[in-house]
Structure 1
């Protein structure tokens, strides 16, 4: 399977239209008693709005961390759900197109994901699968949760935040004698959601490190917040950008990147996921349904924002 790619000038809604017509999506919606998007009235935004409302049936987070998702497949048709997830691009990792990228972004998140993504990006670089001027680590001052410390202890035993973990991973996989130049705005110890960090370390490639400020005081910074911080800090117009994430999150994080980085800055966005066997976490059917809801919400945000500007 090829990587997810959005090119400058390309219709950003074409991929959403195609995705909404996939039989696997219709099968999943009907499986849970819903009405397939093709049968809903209105245009693209109206159909996505109805689908997003229905997708609450798959929501196990209820605004909490992904670590709080209650994984219970006992009442679910697991094989059918996983087959549909594969058809919807949530299991295949995607093969990097290659060549030179202006920026390669390693997306933050839970400890197991951060570790797998960093190691995967470093291995692809070492193999010559791509080159990049800058490798950028996007995270926040989010405090690590109890379920993350066991993995983080192996490579960053003294870290307590996501951004510190990302820095430790960057140093482990991209060793250099060059020092980090770090700027912190705010009080991360007292108010981590309103603090941010920008860091840079010279070398080939150059490394950049970010901890984003949340746009919503009721939650930690999300993927969109990290994209916006990165975009404000670099020269992004016309750039070629590679995103490295986990396979299950690739579709929704790609759509968010198209909305925030691709369309406004006329940049090429390419997204790959770590192969499932490298993910260090087993994703059950419940988790795939949760992230299916994330795709729907990201698609709705892209369509709503793009149509408002037309």
Structure 2
């Protein structure tokens, strides 16, 4: 199996770099050999008429062949077995497409390190990874863990109990507890909050701020942009953080910390929703949960899991392509700063 060398994910170093290179990066990823090889077992082939057409084809194709969630949460999705040859192909292609762990930041200093939340186990090893990066020489002015008012479930409480982590009822509580452990935070934080997450989680928000020497550490949960329909999603949270908490601005740099196999799609979303609107540089790193030292946190990668996240990345590439194309056409709108709101 040859020709599956790594494909570069989109790079964005801020407004001075411009959006044109993003269009080229998305086109190269979409039409890459690893992607073409993934289509072959089902008789798929890119139309090749334009990047937008190729992305639309991939979105429709992946909805039929690679969507194993059926509306469920990721951790609730059943394993879909493939034959051994497909398993090998999918693993190699997914890694070539950027879904593997990338543990080395491109810069030595970032204005912001942004740790994405999730299940309690993910919060534990992502915040620990962020602290490890800073201990090994990466510097930052701010570290923020973003979560939400998702009620913790049985898997969360089990991971917390086994890890000896005190946890309250919501994901944002988990990200705060894991930040406190990872960065050895002492003392009481400053709490700014609004709404009631128990009765109206879509309207509730919270910012817990700790002063940790030269670094400010925060845990953030945002209100929803559609409060009557759903809780805040990642885009809501990142925009709330950017506008209301840190006033993200051109010239800033953001290091997003997550875990594989989510690195690629979350990187594209970060550029689309933070890099382009705010003019800041965005890098993304991810820890590999399959090699964690704790057996109760370790999670093996599966071929069907990789395919699911290839689909997620296709959809994120669509959003990024649309945002970059709008910026090239002069239709991109700068997000307002907190001072201007």
For normalisation by structure 2, the TM-score amounts to: 0.83
C-alpha distance after superposition, 1:221-267 (max 9, x if no partner): 33222211111121321201111100211111111111111111111
Distance 1:277 1:4 in 2: 26
SS of the aligned residue for 1:248 comes to coil
- Are residue 268 (structure 1) and residue 281 (structure 2) matched? yes
SS of the aligned residue for 2:223 comes to coil
Question: Is contact 2:68–2:80 with CA below 8 Å preserved after alignment?
Answer: no
Distance 1:59 1:214 in 2: 26
> 1:4 deviation in Å?
6.9
Partner in structure 1 of residue 152 of structure 2: 144
Give the gaps of 5 or more residues in structure 1.
none
Partner in structure 2 of residue 307 of structure 1: 325
Q: Residue 248 of structure 2 is aligned with which of 236, 239, 246?
A: 236
Give the gaps of 5 or more residues in structure 2.
1-5, 330-341
Partner in structure 1 of residue 12 of structure 2: 6
- Are residue 283 (structure 1) and residue 294 (structure 2) matched? no
Partner in structure 1 of residue 54 of structure 2: 47
SS of the aligned residue for 1:12 comes to helix
RMSD over aligned Cα atoms:
2.1
The 1:116/1:5 distance shift into structure 2, 3 A limit, reads farther
> 1:195 deviation in Å?
1.8
- Are residue 251 (structure 1) and residue 264 (structure 2) matched? yes
Question: Is contact 2:167–2:177 with CA below 8 Å preserved after alignment?
Answer: no
Question: Is contact 1:3–1:95 with CA below 8 Å preserved after alignment?
Answer: no
Q: Residue 88 of structure 2 is aligned with which of 69, 75, 79?
A: 79
> 1:282 deviation in Å?
1.7
Aligned length: 306
> 1:92 deviation in Å?
3.6
> 1:268 deviation in Å?
0.6
User: Which structure 2 residues correspond to residues 143-182 of structure 1 after superposition, within 5 A?
Assistant: 143-153=151-161, 154-182=163-191
SS of the aligned residue for 1:270 comes to strand
